[in-house]
Chains A and B, each alone.
Chain A
Amino acid sequence: QQQVKQSPQSLIVQKGGIPIINCAYENTAFDYFPWYQQFPGKGPALLIAIRPDVSEKKEGRFTISFNKSAKQFSLHIMDSQPGDSATYFCAASLGSGAGSYQLTFGKGTKLSVIP
């Protein structure tokens, strides 16, 4: 069973703060690591993704940091806003072979940004 372990389960920060969500994986064959953002009553939506050949990727206020040797990756949200309040899921998938089209998800982090 492939696993992706996500922490913390919930997170409260003040507006302008930098929440950090961490994920760890076991399978070194994983080669695609996306983050999804989910607002209440909606389906998850792809936020940002990284492959293991880079250590960092930025898109707007969202940054993924990737540590291949530690088998860990994290999401940082710069200058967080109340509108960023949502549940965030990390995920990972294999690049080839059986099951390569399946994403394995972390259990999610509920982020609340207080004005």
Chain B
Amino acid sequence: DAGITQSPRHKVTETGTPVTLRCHQTENHRYMYWYRQDPGHGLRLIHYSYGVKDTDKGEVSDGYSVSRSKTEDFLLTLESATSSQTSVYFCAISAQYSGGDGYTFGSGTRLTVV
């Protein structure tokens, strides 16, 4: 997806280990978001950022933390991975309030916790 890159694309990790997912954008958008996608649950917001060092919790934030030290990078950390955090994680960016121009999503990171 143009302007937004997620890494890694796939990861398998063991229960109890810390994991960091990276979202990098080249659009200079103010707003960045982390979602998880699970069958039957759709897209659920984990955390979001409205500027450098400005972040807040979403619907399913327990067990996750985020950091944004630069406009272009938004990191999602699972402090101690659990099997319930096996999911596909999407980062999204938007330039305007209310996502008025829509969100642009990355291609996702498939995380498996064993």
Contact = CB atoms under 8 A, between A and B. Distances in A.
Interface of A: 1, 6, 31-32, 34, 36, 41-46, 49, 89, 93-96, 100-103, 105-108
Interface in B81-114: 90, 92, 94, 96-100, 102-108
Interface of B: 1, 31, 33, 40-45, 48, 50, 58-59, 90, 92, 94, 96-100, 102-108
B97 A89 contact: no
Given A32-B99, A102-B48, A45 B105 contact: yes
Contact of A101 (B42, B50, B107): B50
Contact of B41 (A31, A95, A107): A107
A31 B94 CA distance: 17
Contact of A43 (B42, B94, B100, B107): B107
B99 A89 contact: no
Contacts of B103: 36, 44, 46, 103
A112 B34 CA distance: 28
A93 B98 CA distance: 6
Contacts of A41: 107-108
Contact of A44 (B58, B90, B97): B90
Contacts of B102: 34, 46, 49
A41 B10 CA distance: 11
B94 A89 contact: no
Contact of B94 (A36, A44, A101): A101
Contacts of A108: 42-43
A11 to B, nearest CB: 15
Contacts of B96: 101
A12 B31 CA distance: 36
Contacts of B31: 101
A86 to B, nearest CB: 14
A43 B90 CA distance: 7
Given A44-B90, A46-B102, A101 B43 contact: no
